Structure 1
């Protein structure tokens, strides 16, 4: 949806002119509207974003926040840079690529975004049908794989992981661009052999798959590739694990690739609004923690941790006022 059509729709829904969220002083409109870019409905960004939208709408005066389904991190970074959203979820690797204008952002160049808060680490899931015979990333050669939806960080991470295993991600696999919920359905139906997903744990769609089809699927170890990727992309990737029992059928900890998730805002977002948003979140952490299990990890110290994409100046000021140094 374009900026005009989205904003026009919200104006019609709210019956009031919108307050500009970027740049100059707000108008006299009664209601303020903000958009939160999330991800697909089967992942963690969507329920987390929906919970934050509800919280901000309830806690901030004359505020209506809306969580929007998107393709994921890449979409969100572009929405923020264009002024089509005020807050967006992203993995830090995709945020950094956007900040620099590389890889998935080569066509649009550097994206003017800033970190609002570091949220929680995601882990990289590679889930194969047992009938496919896939036991390692190298085994995916010649198979049909869902590499994540277009406009998601899953796709870029999947390509990097396959390349690290010696595969050509564009030639050695048959690619499908499916979100995690669609990937789960396709794997159940035998339409794909394997899917990739980067997200919080537990991811609802993957949990559902493991609960109903544990005997038919295999979680693939990517820990042996994590060290090389962390070295190639310093400050972005890290070794992680899927813990024993987090999904049915996982009998022991599984080494995998990890990456932090961040809340982003446009660089030009009004500083007063940035501080309002952060105050609403951190003055109500008990409510935030009820949104999703990964939301329990949010603290002032974690949110202010160093990010590959610098924090918004107003966020730095906010954390300092709460006794924490950002970055």
Structure 2
């Protein structure tokens, strides 16, 4: 699922984000039994005008750009009223699905598993999330970024340092805490933790208000790429954390290399990788799921213009690596394409 590195047009991405990002609103994830019955009765269901709220991530990351492009494509190609909402990302996205305030959500595989099973960030008094996957989208790479001159060469060098572990409510936050734990560091007591999103983290490191930051994202992550163009940085290896994290939390993590030159780095860097999922409420209209997936694969080229990670949306990998069950509508879609492998 690892994508080739290509430069995408920041102007296109900014236009799409500005046009598609919407304020939080109540959505209609179940799409009503009446509408579902109407769709089932038609060989080619018409979803014209149906609302679709897609929850994404924060400024400087991949989710917000990809999600805005997805909303734009679905609006144009399916004639639906799709919008992309900026959020802290994975954890909050799953809560928005649970609370009926989102229709589609970008989320990390480890976060999705916890949400479905009511574990960790979703343990009582929080509640479980009733959701299903419709596609495995691409892989995330945990960016652990420090200044080249800052004297931070390993994760253990973060002790006593000012470190952003990601926005509160993000998958980055959960994963950063687990990586620190694997290296024997407590995210509350052994570092000076900050909770900033990607762009705010990059700005703070550039301005010497942070010593390092974590951000879990695809390649390239614009906040890191822009920082590397103005400030000499280094990326910190996390390979020793992967087996420990899998042993404690589940087999969600894998070695994912950020290739040499991605951020002016002079060598490949091994990070803790995890799959990104696109999920819907379990009650979501199956015909609508099939129509969304049809549009995503038929018009993948539209998405690839927005962010290169969209090139990794492939039929032969879209069903591989999910930590949660697939929606029946997605299963029907992949069966029809001859790629479903239960």
TM-score (norm 1): 0.90
1:26 aligns with 2:26: no
Q: How far is 1:227 from its partner?
A: 2.6
Listed as ranges, the gaps of 5+ residues in structure 1 are: 8-17
The residue aligned with 2:13 is: none
**Conserved in 1, the CA contact under 8 Å of 2:255 and 2:273?**
yes
Residue 79, structure 1, aligned to residue 96, structure 2 = yes
User: Number of aligned pairs?
Assistant: 310
Partner of 1:322: 337
Deviation larger for 63-72 or 132-141: 132-141
Q: Deviation per CA, 1:275-307: give whole Å up to 9, x if none.
A: 111111112122222221111011111112141
Pairwise CA RMSD: 2.0
User: Would you say 1:242 and 2:258 are equivalent positions?
Assistant: yes
Contact 1:22 1:83 in 2 (8 A): no
Larger mean CA deviation between 271-280 and 233-242 belongs to 233-242
Aligned residue for 1:60?
Answer: 78
Shift in CA distance, 326/131, structure 1 to aligned 2, threshold 3 Å: same
Pick closer, same or farther for the CA change 1:306–1:163 going to 2, 3 Å.
closer
Matches within 5 A, 1:304-323: 304-323=319-338
Within 2, Cα distance between the matches of 1:296 and 1:314? Answer: 23
Cα distance between partner residues in 2 of 1:25 and 1:19 = 13
TM-aligned CA distance change 1:80 to 1:19, over 3 Å = closer
**Which residue number in structure 2 is paired with residue 148 of structure 1?**
166
Tell me which residue corresponds to 2:274: 259
Q: 2: distance between equivalents of 1:97 and 1:133?
A: 35
SS at match of 2:296: helix
1:195 aligned counterpart, secondary structure? strand
Task: List structure 1 segments (4+ residues) > 4 angstroms apart after TM superposition.
Answer: 27-30
- Stretches of structure 2 lacking an aligned partner (at least 5 in a row): 1-22, 39-46
1:100 aligns with 117
Given that residues 38 and 68 in structure 1 are in contact (C-alpha distance below 8 angstroms), is that contact kept between their aligned partners in structure 2? Answer: yes
Instruction: Write the distance in 2 (CA, Å) between the matches of 1:86 and 1:243.
Output: 34
The equivalent of 2:69 in structure 1 is 51
Q: Distance in 2 between matches of 1:235 and 1:131?
A: 35
Residue 243 (structure 2) pairs with residue 227 (structure 1):
yes
SS of match in other structure, 2:234: strand
Q: CA deviation at 1:105?
A: 1.2
How far is 1:131 from its partner? 4.4
Equivalent-residue separation in structure 2 for 1:234 and 1:184 (angstroms):
30
Q: 1:25 to 1:232 in 2, by over 3 A?
A: same
Q: Is structure 2 residue 302 aligned with structure 1 residue 284?
A: no
TM-score by length of 2: 0.86
Structure 2 CA distance for aligned equivalents of residues 326 and 121 of structure 1:
20
Distance in 2 (alpha carbons) for counterparts of 1:231 and 1:19: 38
